[in-house]
């Protein structure tokens, strides 16, 4: 559960960074601004999935938690895809998104390990 809480906290921080970039107009073009706004929407969805995953984890519903954490991983992935070489945009939060992806992966990998060792239960 600590991993999920850490991912939620870090996601909130990344969201604040993007909001600040938009508010202070520190983006390079209108396309960058649009991409950053799209990232904010993705982060909101990811936040919902992380909170759901944490709730499923607390209930012991590991299958649903695993899928919720998997869905939460889409935000940093798709946010970075908006800044690709084709549109010549550079993501101002590339490092943050990479770390966010790793942080979201931690609770998911833990659940997968638990399922592998003892399907449906956590060994105490």
| Between 25 and 112, the higher pLDDT residue | 25
Q: Which fold has domain 2-117?
A: Butyryl-CoA Dehydrogenase, subunit A; domain 3 (1.20.140)
pLDDT given for residue 123 in this prediction: 42
Give per-residue pLDDT as tens, 37-86: 999 999 999 999 999 999 999 998 989 999 999 999 999 999 999 987 77
Give per-residue pLDDT as tens, 2-25: 888 999 999 999 999 999 999 998
Query: Whole-angstrom Cα distance, residue 53 to residue 66?
Result: 7
Packing angle, helices 30-59 and 74-81, rounded to 10: 170
Domain residue extents for the chain: 2-117
pLDDT given for residue 27 in this prediction: 81
| Between 115 and 68, the higher pLDDT residue | 68
| Between 120 and 62, the higher pLDDT residue | 62
pTM above 0.75, yes or no: yes
């Amino acid at each position: 559960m600590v991993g999920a809480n850490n991912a939620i906290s870090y996601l909130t921080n990344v969201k604040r960074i993007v909001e600040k970039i938009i508010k202070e107009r520190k983006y390079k073009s209108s396309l960058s601004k649009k991409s950053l706004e799209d990232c904010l929407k993705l982060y909101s969805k990811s936040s919902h999935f992380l909170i759901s995953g944490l709730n499923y984890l607390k209930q012991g519903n590991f299958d649903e938690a695993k899928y919720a954490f998997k869905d939460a991983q889409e935000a940093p992935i798709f946010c970075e895809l908006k800044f690709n070489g084709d549109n010549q945009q550079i993501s101002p939060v590339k490092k943050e998104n990479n770390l966010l992806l790793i942080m979201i992966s931690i609770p998911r990998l833990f659940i997968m390990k638990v399922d592998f060792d003892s399907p449906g239960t956590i060994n105490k």
